[in-house]
Amino acid sequence: MLLLIILALTNGIINAQELPPSCSKPVYCNSKLLHYVQLARIYPDSKTFVDLQLRNDENTTLKAFDELLDQTNQNPTKDQIQAFVDQYFEPGNELEVWKPTDYSDNPTFLAKVRDNTLRKFAYDINAIWPTLGRKVKSIVFENPEKYSFIPISNGFIIPGGRFSEIYYWDTYWIIEGLLICGMENTARGMIENLIQLLRKLGHVPNGSRWYYEERSQPPLLSAMMALYVRKTKDLTFLKANIEALEDELEYWLETQTVTFEKSGKSYTLLRYYAPSEGPRPESYYEDYTTAQLFETEERQVEFYNEIKGAAESGWDFSTRWFIGNFGENTGNLSTIHTKDIVPVDLNAIFANALQNIAYFHGLLRNIRKGAHWAFLAKQWRNTIEAVLWNECDGIWYDYNLENGKHRKYFYPSNVAPLWLEAVERHVLKKHAPRVVKYLQGSQGLNFPGGIPTSLIRSGEQWDFPNAWPPLVSIVVNALRAIDSYESQQMAFHVAQTWVRACLKGFTENKQMFEKYDVEQPGKIGGGGEYTVQTGFGWSNGVVLEMIKMYGRSLTATDSLDKTEIYAVTVSQIKESFVSMAVN
């Protein structure tokens, strides 16, 4: 059935009746109740309703709402709908505040941070972890049918703000920060939570809510495991979960691949693709309203699936997914065509995941299995090179399946193959000078508040002037992967610019934000479907990553003697070369 759905969608001939529901909980995903409540706009944020807790069982609630519709001739007033929600729902109380048992208010890495102001900044960020710690209450395990939250066993770190659950790709940078702070047990628990979700649903969902059931996010689970294993050498945990890690890759291979021709040759890569019925439950009003721009049900169904695919990417939303009349990245959400774009970063992440599984089997002495996954990883790297590398511009680009052309726009994701070693070593050596030249000429590294998500001011939150922490991390690590003095200087400059911008924002607001404005250092970003969120998990992780990475040479200001700064920076760069040689 799944294969038939995929083929039908690819050919544009599917209707809503042939799609799977958004999830297996009708109240939160596919019901008249959801439709009426969200369109009544009882809550300014659509996510609020689907995070509420049921007072009764699901069938009782749905039957009572059907009775209300019968009594009101299918046209209840907003007040009647509000009264119904008040009677049958209550604010979710599924989580309790949890302080990680391995938290330390003075982690050892702080001693290596040379600048006093930055050491205090890192100290303050570390102190945020307990405020973001949560654990699922036992009542959720006892009555799971009353919650949209999918119960998970271990305590975890939430992103912050409206995001009170685990989010898949956020967790990678959160785990990176936790490991820097010596919180290995918490990191392990978070990985185990994701594996529980994987085993329950067959894939890791976008987040730990039932309404995210039918979509995932960038497959970074094996990369998280690699961070953990390299830090702890915990092969027992790895051995217990290696099959689950393989299952996730099989899921992506079975559901997200697309085969196409380029220059007379056939290639297979991944794209984001999350077909299911109706609007996103957590953004129901926004999706439904936008879909009314389309005159036919077929186009509305197509829009819902394209928007879910973009949400699966984590870049929700961006001109990166817009395809205008001539293949350019213009328009608005009505021109979103996520499934027709082969993304650089997704395929780099997947190539890395394949290689990680090979590495894990090597650690576990499973030589034959390791060779199998290593072969697949090499194939994927070669395909990335053949399809996504643009020889003229000297960079990797997303690929437009509609017109068979590269999408030649600046996005930080363009350098993702360097970030996760999705490039053969001899290819890296050949491409490195070109990539540096591309970045220097892109204007993307010229802003005082970080690296913009794009150079297009569209009003979408994954576009200019917003800078997102994970993308800054990707660029810094991509530059560090290039074995040249020039690239190392550039990496240091990007990291220092970012840390200073975040420090300024923290000093002024006593908060870390999910995104920032590149034109005004420290200022919160804007755009998108919701107000800017504080906390913030991945922002904390990335700043800690930068401070640990350059702890001896980063400075909060330029007040130190330039000669001294230069000497320390050169020393740090030399250490980076030595570290790369060892690894």
CA max distance for the chain: 80
CB 6 within 8 A of CB 255: yes
Distance CA 206, CA 212 (A): 6
562 CA to centre of own chain = 38
- Name residue 431's amino acid: H
Question: Could you give the CA distance from residue 42 to residue 85 in angstroms, rounded to a whole number?
Answer: 9
Q: How far apart are CA 501 and CA 98, in angstroms?
A: 30
Q: What is the DSSP string of 119-179?
A: HHHHHHHHTTGGGGEEEE-HHHHH-GGG-SBPP-SS-EE--BTTB-S-BTTHHHHHHHHHH
Q: Where are the alpha helices (DSSP H) in 510-561?
A: 537-549
Strands 389-390 and 405-406: unpaired
Give me the catalytic one of 340, 514, 517, 545.
Answer: 514
Active site residue 514: yes
Residue type at 376 in one-letter notation: L
**Cα–Cα distance for residue pair 348/383, rounded to 1 Å:** 10
Start-to-end C-alpha separation, the chain: 45
Query: What sections of 260-395 are H helices per DSSP?
Result: 284-291, 297-313, 344-363, 367-388
Strand 466-467 to strand 395-396: parallel, antiparallel, or no bridges (unpaired)? unpaired
3-class state of residue 351 by DSSP? helix
Q: Tokens at residue 578, please?
A: 């030595």
Q: How far apart are CA 208 and CA 210, in angstroms?
A: 7
Q: Is 156 buried (19+), middle (13-18) or exposed (0-12) by CB count in 10 A?
A: buried
What is the dihedral sign for C-alpha 501, 506, 508, 509?
positive
| 270 beta partners | 257
Cα–Cα nearest to 460, from 344, 326, 315: 315
Q: Phi then psi for 100, rounded to 5 degrees?
A: -55, 135
Of these residues, 316, 340, 460, 545, which one is catalytic?
Answer: 316
40 Cβ neighbours under 8 A, 6+ residues apart? 78, 81, 82
Closest to 226 (Cα-Cα) out of 245, 240, 244 = 245
Check: CB of residue 199 under 8 Å from CB of residue 500. Answer: no
Q: How far apart are CA 462 and CA 409, in angstroms?
A: 14
CA distances from 16 to 100, 106, 143, 355 (A): 44, 54, 31, 38
CA distances in angstroms from 404 to 256, 303, 340, listed in the order given: 19, 22, 10
Q: Please indicate whether residue 90 is annotated as part of the active site.
A: no
Handedness of CA 104, 110, 116, 117 (dihedral sign): negative
* Alpha-carbon gap, residue 198 to 245, rounded angstroms: 9
Residues 273, 2: Cα–Cα separation, whole Å: 13
Give me the active site residues, please: 316, 514
